[in-house]
């Protein structure tokens, strides 16, 4: 394979503690190597440019049935934005729910190389994998949802953590999943009765277990299985005024817990899109930011990580396995609503949403997302996301970076809000003069996410031996002054190397790369009880047979990459 | 005002997408440059000159440019799409999406237009001497933001689903209409001089529909309120006012609930 030498760039790598120094990066056989190991490289001149590892997105909804429902029921999302086939690129379209091709191209143009699908209904794992297979360039993995799964609810109700772990091991292997996702634990199951769980101590109907027990039990199972990623939580009471208390209650469940794994992961819990969970007040009239209280906890407890879920003030499509929340949303905005129940496992809803700069609450939400990042003491534990597409499309990350890196840019946006003064008085943003550095941005977008995913041995840094995923941005940190340059440069990578191959050159996609699909194979001791339970549930309740449930690697996946864990001890 | 004349020559084998036939695309161009503009026939990109003789030249701006299409263009879609000004006259009939998403200017079609004409219209005038197909002045598929403003006048009949998700503007049909009129409307005015059939104003929460002729089946969600004397499109008459659709959510203004209104002439 080709050898490359990326010369003279300003390198930002929190893992190697390189903060803008000019360091040459050498690539050979798809890996990053010492520059002495290459003989006849193609030299890429990165003088005056920023060099980082390929971006790693820990949470986005980019594949699977609810994404596809969004595509199907929002033809207007594709109106006037189709791009015809060109070069290696296939036809692409869609704004908030882009086609799989546009998803791959746009991420690559932002210098991202790894993207995790944040919620996979196990029953539709095949569909999710088919979409990931067709998403070019990106290495991907998907998190099956467990927080409302009947097996999990029953085992945890009976305090059978070992059985829950054996079931999780079976399900991860069967669906080729990557991590344990929990969405509105118990609440989505309660939605089957037209109910919800609004706090972590609300009992789930019929199952007689609380969200707190579900989350804690799944954490215990996760650590018993020694999985690369921690449990990945979207807790109860999302998007409601006053919900920061539920969020803090959730965080506190894990206080003092220790991680158990061989992947360098230091957290026992990742909480996603915290922006949606940081609201004070008790109605939409007096809703206010509680980002300070949330970040106060996060900063003082280093056994957890989180991502932001920044509102980008766009028209977008919300989609979540939090079925009751989507119903709540359609009652608010009266736009079209799709809802589905996934048998024994989960549910989902989809509603279009317009985060309008003319609506006070939208302005407050926008401010909270940014505040969380600006109040973070450890950027290796707080990650940039928009919960794509829920708070905004992923290709707004460069805009979020601009707001985080420039107080002028966010004040300009604040002034452009219709209710700027009301937003200012309900939030802290205008009082925060911190401007994030590229070093911190690199932590929040690649080094930190790779570590939290247990993938720091592959991604997130330019350390020799890691995958040669390298992004070069046309951004000179020594001379750039206009914040607009941040958005432009980080949305149009000058170069992107993926597995040692150039996939983006001067902002254009020139190769479809060689994607991998990551999944976790956690071996546990044979558990006849769980095997019997699985067989019985398929016979009695599922609409498919067990044989038609498994994801066959050859059929449904492209370059499956198995990460083995031995949890038999 | 400068005039560009397009005379159809070879009929295309497939239907063509000609979203470049607009005063905006023509503005500032010579006949030869206009003939070089792209159109799509199936998945092939072709030039306008392959299907039309182009004569005359365009003015510097769209507002000062008039396009005359001499003859039938029943296999040409998207004439006047997203135009912001100027004028288009089609001397025969045209296919679907005439004046779709238009924002200003005038389009006059002397023959018929097919479905989706005036889709998502935001302004300007569209006049059809003959008949219009289905989905006249409707929203784009999936969108809840239909016709916003502007005027559509059809001298003949119109098909089904006109004014779906209409938010503003006026549609006047001088002949009859098929089923589904003003479905989901949240504003705007629809005037039917001929007869209506059924499903008029279904799920409408705001806006007005005037029917001069008969209505085969009134929607069950409408309630008769009173008789009113009105002048509508130059005609004075007495109308029965119905309000609805009672099955829907309705907003309030100054303490009064806003309903969709159907006026039927006695």
Q: pLDDT tens across A500-514, in order? A: 999 999 989 999 999
Asked if B144 reaches chain A (Cβ–Cβ under 8 Å), the answer is yes
Candidates B101, B135, B138, B142, partner chain A, best to mutate (most A CBs within 10 A): B142
For residue A569, name the pLDDT band (cuts at 50, 70, 90).
confident
Q: Residue B66 burial by CB count (10 A; 0-12/13-18/19+): exposed, middle or buried?
A: buried
The separation between CA A374 and the C-alpha centre of its own chain, rounded to angstroms, equals 19
**How far is residue A230's CA from residue A11's CA, in Å, rounded to a whole number?**
29
Distance from CA of B189 to the nearest CA of A (A): 22
What is the pLDDT averaged over residues B235-240?
96
What is residue A473's predicted lDDT score, i.e. its pLDDT? Answer: 98
The answer, yes or no, to whether residue A1 has pLDDT greater than 80, is: no
Q: Check A336 against B140: CB less than 8 A apart.
A: no
What is residue B60's predicted lDDT score, i.e. its pLDDT? Answer: 96
Collapse the DSSP code of B225 into the 3-class scheme (helix H, G, I; strand E, B; otherwise coil) and give the result.
Answer: strand
pLDDT tens-digit profile of A105-139? Answer: 999 999 999 999 999 999 999 999 999 999 999 99
Tokens of A239: 């998007």
What is residue A230's predicted lDDT score, i.e. its pLDDT? Answer: 98
Tokens of A147: 């927080």
For residue B11, name the pLDDT band (cuts at 50, 70, 90).
confident
Please say whether the beta carbons of A366 and A217 come within 8 A. Answer: no
pLDDT tens-digit profile of B68-94? Answer: 999 999 999 999 999 999 999 999 999
What is the pLDDT averaged over residues B174-194?
97
Q: Check B142 against A335: CB less than 8 A apart.
A: no
| Percent of residues, chain A, with pLDDT higher than 90 | 98
Tokens of B151: 């005027």
What is the pLDDT averaged over residues B178-182?
97
What is the pLDDT averaged over residues B118-145?
97
Q: Check A76 against B249: CB less than 8 A apart.
A: no
What is residue B43's predicted lDDT score, i.e. its pLDDT? Answer: 86
Find the closest chain B residue to A331 by CA distance. B249
**Nearest CA among A386, A428, A383, A390 for reference residue A410:** A428
**How far is residue B3's CA from residue B73's CA, in Å, rounded to a whole number?**
18
Distance from CA of A423 to the nearest CA of B (A): 26
In A315-443, the DSSP E strands lie at: 315-320, 338-342, 346-354, 382-383
Q: What secondary structure letter does DSSP report for A184?
A: S
Task: Tell me how far CA of residue A427 lies from CA of A287, A408, B184, in angstroms.
Answer: 10, 17, 38
Out of B140, B144, B249, whose CB is closest to A336? B144
pLDDT tens-digit profile of A46-61? Answer: 999 999 999 999 999 9
User: Average pLDDT, whole number, for chain A?
Assistant: 96
Candidates A71, A72, A76, partner chain B, best to mutate (most B CBs within 10 A): A76
Distance from CA of B155 to the nearest CA of A (A): 30
For residue B10, name the pLDDT band (cuts at 50, 70, 90).
confident
């Amino acid at each position: 394979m080709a050898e490359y030498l990326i010369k003279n760039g300003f390198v930002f790598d929190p893992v190697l503690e390189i903060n803008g120094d000019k360091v040459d990066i050498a690539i050979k056989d798809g890996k990053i190597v010492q520059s002495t190991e290459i003989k006849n490289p193609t030299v890429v001149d990165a003088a005056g440019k920023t060099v980082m590892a390929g971006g790693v997105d820990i949470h986005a909804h980019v594949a699977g049935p609810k994404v596809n429902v969004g595509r199907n029921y929002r033809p207007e999302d594709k109106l006037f934005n189709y791009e015809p086939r060109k070069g290696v690129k296939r036809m692409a379209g869609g704004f908030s729910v882009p086609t799989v091709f546009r998803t791959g191209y746009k991420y690559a143009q932002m210098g991202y190389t790894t993207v995790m699908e944040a919620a996979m209904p196990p029953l539709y794992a095949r569909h999710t994998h088919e979409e990931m297979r067709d998403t070019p360039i990106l290495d991907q993995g998907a998190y099956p949802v467990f927080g409302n799964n009947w097996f999990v609810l029953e085992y945890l109700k009976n305090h059978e953590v070992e059985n829950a772990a054996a079931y999780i091991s079976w399900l991860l292997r069967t669906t080729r999943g990557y991590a344990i996702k929990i969405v509105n634990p118990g609440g989505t199951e309660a939605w089957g009765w037209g109910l919800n769980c609004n706090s972590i101590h609300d009992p789930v109907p019929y199952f007689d277990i609380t969200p707190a027990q579900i989350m804690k039990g799944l954490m215990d199972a996760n650590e018993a299985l020694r999985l690369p990623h921690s449990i990945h939580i979207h807790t109860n009471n999302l998007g409601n005024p006053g919900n920061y208390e539920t969020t803090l209650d959730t965080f506190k469940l894990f206080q003092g817990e220790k991680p158990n794994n061989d992947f360098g992961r230091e957290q026992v819990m990742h909480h996603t899109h915290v922006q949606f969970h940081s609201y004070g007040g008790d109605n939409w009239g007096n809703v206010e930011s509680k980002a300070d209280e949330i970040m106060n906890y996060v900063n003082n407890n280093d056994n957890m990580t989180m991502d932001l879920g920044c509102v980008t003030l766009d028209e977008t499509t919300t989609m979540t396995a939090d079925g009751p929340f989507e119903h709540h949303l359609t009652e608010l905005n009266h736009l079209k609503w799709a809802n589905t129940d996934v048998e024994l496992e989960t549910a989902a809803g989809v509603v279009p949403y317009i985060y309008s700069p003319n609506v006070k609450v939208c302005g407050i939400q926008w401010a909270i997302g940014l505040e969380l990042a600006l109040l973070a003491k450890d950027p290796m534990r707080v990650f940039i996301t928009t919960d794509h597409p829920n708070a905004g499309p992923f290709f707004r990350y460069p805009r979020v970076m601009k707001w985080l890196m420039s107080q002028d840019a966010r004040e300009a946006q604040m002034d452009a809000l219709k209710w700027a003064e009301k937003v200012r008085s309900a939030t802290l943003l205008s009082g925060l003069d911190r401007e994030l550095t590229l070093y911190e941005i690199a932590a929040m977008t690649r080094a930190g996410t790779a570590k939290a995913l247990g993938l720091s041995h592959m991604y997130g840094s330019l350390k020799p031996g890691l995958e040669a995923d390298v992004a070069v941005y046309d951004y000179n940190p020594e001379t750039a002054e206009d914040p607009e340059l941040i958005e432009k440069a980080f949305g149009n990578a000058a170069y992107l190397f993926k597995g040692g191959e150039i996939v983006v050159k001067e902002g254009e996609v020139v190769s479809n790369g060689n994607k991998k699909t990551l999944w976790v194979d956690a071996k546990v001791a044979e558990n006849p009880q769980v095997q019997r339970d699985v067989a019985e549930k398929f016979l009695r309740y599922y609409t498919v047979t067990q044989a038609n449930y498994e994801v066959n690697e050859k059929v449904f996946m492209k370059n499956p990459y198995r990460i083995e864990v031995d949890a038999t001890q | 005002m400068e005039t560009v004349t397009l005379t159809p020559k070879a009929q295309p084998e497939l239907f063509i997408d000609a979203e470049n036939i607009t005063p905006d695309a023509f503005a500032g161009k010579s006949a030869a440059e206009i003939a070089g503009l792209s159109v799509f026939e199936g998945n092939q990109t072709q030039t306008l000159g392959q299907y039309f003789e182009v004569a005359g030249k365009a003015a510097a701006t769209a507002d000062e440019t008039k396009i005359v299409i001499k003859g039938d263009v029943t296999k040409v879609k998207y004439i006047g799409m997203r135009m912001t000004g100027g004028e288009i006259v089609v001397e025969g009939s045209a296919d679907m999406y005439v004046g779709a998403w238009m924002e200003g200017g005038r389009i006059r079609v002397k023959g018929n237009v097919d479905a989706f004409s005036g889709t998502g219209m935001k302004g300007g005038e569209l006049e059809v001497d003959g008949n219009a197909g289905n989905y006249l002045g409707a929203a784009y598929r999936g969108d809840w933001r239909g016709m916003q403003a502007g005027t559509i006048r059809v001298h003949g009949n119109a098909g089904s689903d006109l004014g779906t998700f209409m938010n503003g503007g006026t549609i006047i049909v001088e002949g009859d209409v098929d089923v589904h009129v003003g479905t989901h409307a949240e504003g705007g005015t629809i005037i039917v001089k001929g007869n209506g059939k059924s499903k008029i104003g279904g799920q409408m929460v705001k806006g007005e529909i005037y029917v001069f002729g008969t209505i085969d089946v009134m929607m069950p969600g409408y309630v008769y309120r009173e008789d009113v004397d009105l002048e509508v499109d130059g005609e004075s008459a007495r109308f029965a006012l119905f309000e609805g659709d009672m099955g829907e959510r309705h907003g309030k203004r100054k303490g009064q609930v806003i309903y969709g209104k159907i006026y039927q002439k006695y």
